[in-house]
Homo-oligomer: A and B are copies of this chain.
Amino acid sequence: MQIAVVVYDRFTALDVVGPYEILSRLPDAHLTFVAERAGAVRTETGFLALTADRALHELPDPDIVVVSGGPGTLAQLENPVLLDWLRAADATSTWTTSVCSGSLLLAAAGLLEGRRATSHWTVLPMLEKYGARPTGERVVTEGKYVTAAGVSSGIDMALTLVGRIAGDEHAQAVQLLTEYDPQPPYDAGSPEKAPAHLVEELRAGGRFDLS
């Protein structure tokens, strides 16, 4: 089973390293990080680079596609190399998935037309521009299209996918192996739960670079 994880300049590392950690433990999985050009790809903070072992064109027909989000998404929304690859890969994929603002790329490629989908809460309304139907759920499954909300939600998406592909017991084994028994010290992980002034501040781009 070939899994392609798509990254690009200024992606968000946890968006895809969460799913990588889970999906790479599927039976017979072969997971490859891909980018427009092979080589080191730097994340949004500048503090970390991951290696894309293959260029997109070297992996044309993966079984599973996972598209990263991040501040770099916006610069890719009209990149024909990436969008054409997504359309071609989707034509033969079993699952086409995204984390965070990565769903905007699936949508821009025309793959979410009329479908329910999610994204990072700050960019969720942008999905409508491409004909998708935004929902604030953490993981949205529509046929073979699975989109996850912001950053950390890719872990939940990937575990859901492992359950669908390899069964509940295998998914539970992966959850146990990665000790995914979350105990966040705060309860501010969604715009519904966080203090309203923080939601406004982040939406306005006041504290962190979300652009």
Contact = CB atoms under 8 A, between A and B. Distances in A.
A194 interface: yes
Interface string A153-186: 1011001100100001101110111111111111
Contacts of A121: 179
A12 interface: yes
Copies in the complex: 2
A77 interface: no
A33 B48 contact: yes
Interface in A76-120: 100, 120
Interface of A: 12-14, 17-18, 20-21, 24-25, 30-33, 40, 45, 47-51, 53, 100, 120-121, 138-139, 149-153, 155-156, 159-160, 163, 168-169, 171-173, 175-186, 188-191, 193-195, 198-199, 201-202, 207-208, 210
